[in-house]
């Protein structure tokens, strides 16, 4: 027999925690299910400078922790479990998890996204042996070493700048001839003497013996391949939505993102989505929090009707 709630939230990042704050404060019996760390991907960010109310910046971990404490104060229940599937079509919806089944009249899906992998030879082999997706987690392991960062967006540049605290040199490998990061991040990167740039370049292979020792790269304009000597490589080439447990149950776009309206509603009555999981999300912590608040308000109106 599953335990029944008013709302079940899947995911404990900024979107899920914000939804938890609004739903619990509305006196709705709410359960949040998270399989990992509260805060989601932002928890790995050493410094978030664009979240309102923190003029000196705040760590991503602290954002997640403060949101969690705030939601808990209003009575949000949480459980550490992995959601394996959902049955969303009935009035009482069922969520199947590694810790048992739970039921609710409304669901908010905020399971976020994970770092996309390069998909090149050697990548899987050298994970935790020079290949990383989290500079904050692993940067200190590369003191006075040479590392590469693959990508040109905000995450790639912010993490590359963080790595300059430890590494002797950081080589940014980017498939385009200019960065996609914000202007402020670009200015910092281009003026940092520890950063070097390989433009119009992609990684073809990651090589080494017991650990990473070099990258095989290719210039996308000339087709010329070459090798660069590095001790590690940090990958920031986009995200993949965590929606594998929803396939066949919730309408998704071709990339696996959830389709929503402007009230965060899906095509299934009583099912909402918020944050990075949603098609056309801005993938910013502040918009994820806004999505979560909107989803909870919409769910509350649905339940009261």
CATH number for the domain spanning 100: value is: 3.50.50.60
User: What pLDDT score was predicted for residue 213?
Assistant: 97
Q: Is beta strand 30-34 parallel, antiparallel or unpaired with respect to 77-80?
A: parallel
User: What pLDDT score was predicted for residue 1?
Assistant: 43
Classify burial at 301, counting beta carbons within 10 Å of its beta carbon; exposed 0-12, middle 13-18, buried 19 or more.
exposed
Q: What's the domain count of the chain?
A: 2
Reduce the DSSP state of residue 295 to 3 states and report it: helix
Which residue of the set 6, 62, 137, 291 is catalytic? 137
User: 264 and 196 in one domain?
Assistant: no
Which among 114, 120, 127, 135 is positioned nearest to 239, based on CA atoms?
114
Domain boundary among 216, 235, 254: 235
Alpha-carbon gap, residue 250 to 242, rounded angstroms: 13
User: 224 and 128 in one domain?
Assistant: yes
User: What pLDDT score was predicted for residue 49?
Assistant: 84
User: 259 and 169 in one domain?
Assistant: no
User: 194 and 140 in one domain?
Assistant: yes
Q: What is the span of the domain harbouring residue 41?
A: 3-114+239-304
| 137 has catalytic annotation | yes
Which residue of the set 6, 138, 154, 291 is catalytic? 138
Alpha-carbon gap, residue 88 to 108, rounded angstroms: 11
The phi and psi torsions of 304 (rounded to 5 degrees) equal -75, -20
Domain boundary among 235, 257, 276: 235
Report field, pTM of the whole predicted structure over 0.85: no
Mean pLDDT for each 10-residue chunk of the chain (305 residues)? 84 97 97 92 83 92 95 96 95 95 97 93 95 89 97 93 97 96 93 97 97 97 97 94 92 93 96 95 91 98 95
User: 146 and 85 in one domain?
Assistant: no
User: What pLDDT score was predicted for residue 42?
Assistant: 85
- Residue partners of 190: CB distance under 8 A and separation at least 6: none
User: What pLDDT score was predicted for residue 43?
Assistant: 85
Residue with tokens 């776009």: 253
Alpha-carbon gap, residue 159 to 153, rounded angstroms: 10
User: 212 and 123 in one domain?
Assistant: yes
| 134 has catalytic annotation | yes
User: 285 and 220 in one domain?
Assistant: no
User: What pLDDT score was predicted for residue 10?
Assistant: 98
User: What pLDDT score was predicted for residue 44?
Assistant: 78
User: What pLDDT score was predicted for residue 212?
Assistant: 97
User: 284 and 204 in one domain?
Assistant: no
User: What pLDDT score was predicted for residue 262?
Assistant: 95
User: 158 and 252 in one domain?
Assistant: no
Alpha-carbon gap, residue 9 to 30, rounded angstroms: 7
Alpha-carbon gap, residue 95 to 251, rounded angstroms: 17
Which residue of the set 62, 91, 134, 261 is catalytic? 134
The β-bridge partners of 46 are none
Domain boundary among 218, 235, 252: 235
Q: Of how many residues is the chain composed?
A: 305
User: What pLDDT score was predicted for residue 2?
Assistant: 56
Sheet holding 201-208, edge to edge: 201-208, 212-219, 225-229
User: 173 and 212 in one domain?
Assistant: yes
User: What pLDDT score was predicted for residue 196?
Assistant: 97
User: 160 and 50 in one domain?
Assistant: no
User: 125 and 230 in one domain?
Assistant: yes
* Token reading at 266: 């899906």
């Amino acid at each position: 027999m599953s335990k029944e709630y008013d709302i079940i939230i899947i995911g404990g990042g900024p979107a899920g925690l914000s939804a938890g704050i609004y739903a619990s404060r509305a006196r709705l019996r709410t359960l949040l299910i998270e399989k990992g760390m509260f805060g989601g991907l932002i928890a790995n960010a050493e410094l978030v400078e664009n979240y309102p109310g923190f003029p000196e910046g705040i760590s991503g971990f602290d954002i997640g922790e403060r949101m969690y404490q705030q939601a808990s104060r209003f009575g949000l229940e949480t459980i550490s479990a992995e959601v394996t599937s959902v049955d969303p079509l009935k009035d009482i919806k069922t969520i199947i998890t590694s810790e048992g089944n739970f039921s609710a009249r409304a669901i908010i899906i905020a399971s976020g996204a994970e770092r996309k992998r390069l998909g090149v030879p050697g990548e899987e082999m050298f994970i935790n042996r020079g290949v990383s997706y989290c500079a904050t987690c692993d940067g200190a392991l590369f003191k006075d070493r040479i590392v590469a960062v693959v990508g040109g967006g905000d995450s790639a540049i912010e993490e590359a700048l963080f790595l300059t605290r430890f590494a002797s040199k950081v080589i940014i490998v980017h498939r385009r001839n200019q960065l996609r990061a914000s202007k402020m991040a670009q200015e910092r990167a281009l003026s940092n003497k520890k950063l070097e740039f390989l433009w119009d370049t992609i990684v073809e292979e990651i090589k080494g013996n017991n650990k990473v020792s070099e990258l095989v790269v290719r210039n996308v304009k000339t087709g010329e391949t070459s090798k660069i000597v590095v001790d590690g490589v940090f990958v920031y080439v986009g995200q993949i939505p965590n929606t594998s447990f929803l396939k066949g149950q919730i309408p998704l776009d071709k990339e696996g993102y959830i389709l929503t309206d402007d009230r965060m509603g899906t095509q299934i009555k009583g099912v909402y989505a918020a944050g990075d999981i949603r098609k056309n999300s801005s993938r910013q912590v502040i918009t994820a929090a806004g999505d979560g608040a909107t989803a909870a308000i919409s769910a509350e109106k649905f339940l009261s009707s």
